[in-house]
Amino acid sequence: MGIVIDRSLCVGAGMCALSAPGVFDQDPDEGTVTPVGGAAPDPGDPAVRRAVDTCPSGAITLAP
Amino acid sequence: MTTVTPEPLPTERPRGCPFDPPSGLRDRPRLSRMVYADGHVGWLVTGHALARSVAADRRFSSRHELMRLPVARAGFTGPLPPATPGMFIGLDAPEHTRYRRLLAGKFTVRRMNTLAERVGEITAECLDAMAAHGPGLDLVPVFAQAVPALVICELLGVPTDDRERFQRLAEAANDLDAGLEETQAAMEELGGYIAGLVREKAETPTDDLLSDLTTGDLSFEELVTVGTLLLGAGLDTTANMLGLGVFALLTHPDQIPVMREGPEAVEKAVEELLRYLTIAHTGVRVALEDVELAGQVIRAGESVTIAAQAANRDPEKFADPDTLDLRRDSAGHLSFGHGPHQCLGQQLARVELRVALAGLFARFPTLRLAVPADEVPVRRHADIHGVHSLPVTWDGE
């Protein structure tokens, strides 16, 4: 189980950066999701789960 | 299974409950047939999970020309004309995505958070003006409308001198009782002004969003439409959220201390106010193909109305949904919509609401209504819910 990011779906609403600012940021030009640092987002982190739950476009999902 | 006769969208809010969705709306099942303004029999969604899935499903379109109007606008029942270039709210991917990519970077969480200090200064100026006036005034023009108008004008690079004119035009555009001609005239007047401004910025760029956009690959026509959309959206929405939000807090005085408990408490409080008030209450999508939804088949071409105000009071998502509880976790509310069209300016709105509301209740701890709550004039028929005026007073110094 891991976090899958599909930037082609991202609309730059910023819900991930709002929910988990230490994990997700936004591209300064397009506003699309960019992971912070090198580590993969931890699906066990409640803030990351919130980012998944509130992502409006399905750009951040939980892999089965 | 019970068959429910298709009915028009309920719009009448219950008497004495200015913050509650229309009572008829609460009685509808989570998915039901609905009669649209032109007689089209489409659908109405009131459940939270269903509303979310329709808004996010790309088999449902946002194209204006496909859409049926849920309620008539001063006798006008549709159809709407197709979106003009730049009118991204009425477009689907990939056209819509192109505009989002060009604009979303200007409204990121990071960028909006850097504006907090400036929003604080603007708020302080408005609060100073209130204090100078003294107790007993209408909070709408001096605070609820002033803060967002000054912020969006500065962000876009629009001179604030003509602010009252913009405010009136934006209001006219959202008033369902205004005639279509009046609405179109308002939009054209606003567009004409923005066109002049875009020409100026293209020639002599200044340090603002509109100038920034003129250097990108948007055409002149697109720039004018996008600029008008951003200004219109920035004026009327946050202003009504502030006016109605303060009204809600003043009628729930036990909740007000939360607004003085620091940034984290205020962040949560603002999300709850957004959920509870759901000022942008109705959205529409159109099925591009037959879609199975909750055991029913939505046929291609049928419109689906998403009643966000009902979805945000869905007890399956939010326990005790009719209670305003600023300490609750309201994440997942649909007040900014959901799906690819979710509000572009939501992170700006959040910063404005947090800073302005916290500032107001810190500066005026004795703020209260100057008239009985049932005498506050509430918008009855508008795309955006709100108050026309909010008479308040406080203990003088």
* Structural domain spans, chain A: 3-62
Residues composing chain B: 397
Q: Mutate which of B115, B347, B351 to disrupt the A interface (most A C-beta within 10 Å)?
A: B347
Is B1 within the bounds of a domain?
A: no
Q: How many domains does chain B have?
A: 1
Pair B44, B307: CB distance under 8 Å = yes
Alpha-carbon distance B129 to nearest alpha carbon in chain A (angstroms) = 33
Distance CA B49, CA B210 (A): 37
| Residues of chain A contacting residue B340, judged by C-beta atoms under 8 Å apart | 11, 56-57
DSSP per residue, B302-357: -EEEEEHHHHTT-TTTSSSTTS--TTS--TT--TT--STTS-TTHHHHHHHHHHHH
Distance CA B182, CA B159 (A): 24
Beta B31-35 vs B7-8: how paired, if at all? parallel
Is B181 within the bounds of a domain?
A: yes
Using a 10 angstrom Cβ sphere, with 0-12 exposed, 13-18 middle and 19 or more buried, the burial of residue B80 is middle
Query: What is the CATH code of the structural domain delimited by A3-62?
Result: 3.30.70.20
Distance CA B32, CA B310 (A): 13
Confidence (pLDDT) at B89: 96
Place of tokens 């979310």: B52
Distance CA B192, CA B228 (A): 9
Cross-chain CB nearest to B56 (options A18, A21, A58):
A58
Confidence (pLDDT) at B255: 98
Q: Which of B172, B161, B155, B163 is nearest to B345 (CA)?
A: B155
Q: A21 — contact with chain B (CB < 8 Å)?
A: yes
User: What is the domain range of residue B323?
Assistant: 7-393
What ipTM was reported for this prediction? Answer: 0.96
> Could you say which residues from 26 to 55 on chain A have a Cβ atom under 8 Å away from some Cβ of chain B?
26-32, 50, 53-54
List all residues 6 or more positions away from B205 whose beta carbon is below 8 Å from its beta carbon. B211, B212, B214, B215
Is B287 within the bounds of a domain?
A: yes
CATH, residue B343 = 1.10.630.10
Is B2 within the bounds of a domain?
A: no
Q: B195: which 2 tokens?
A: 């066109």
List all residues 6 or more positions away from B137 whose beta carbon is below 8 Å from its beta carbon. B130, B391, B392, B393
Which pLDDT tens digits describe chain B residue by residue (397 residues)? 445 689 999 998 888 899 999 989 988 999 999 999 999 999 999 999 999 999 999 999 999 999 999 998 878 898 899 999 999 999 999 999 999 999 999 999 999 999 999 999 999 999 999 999 999 999 999 999 999 999 999 999 988 887 777 777 877 776 767 777 887 888 888 889 899 999 999 999 999 999 999 998 899 999 999 999 999 888 889 999 999 999 999 999 999 999 999 999 999 999 999 999 999 999 999 999 999 999 999 999 999 999 999 999 999 999 999 999 999 999 999 999 999 999 999 999 999 999 999 999 999 999 999 999 999 999 887 789 999 999 999 998 6
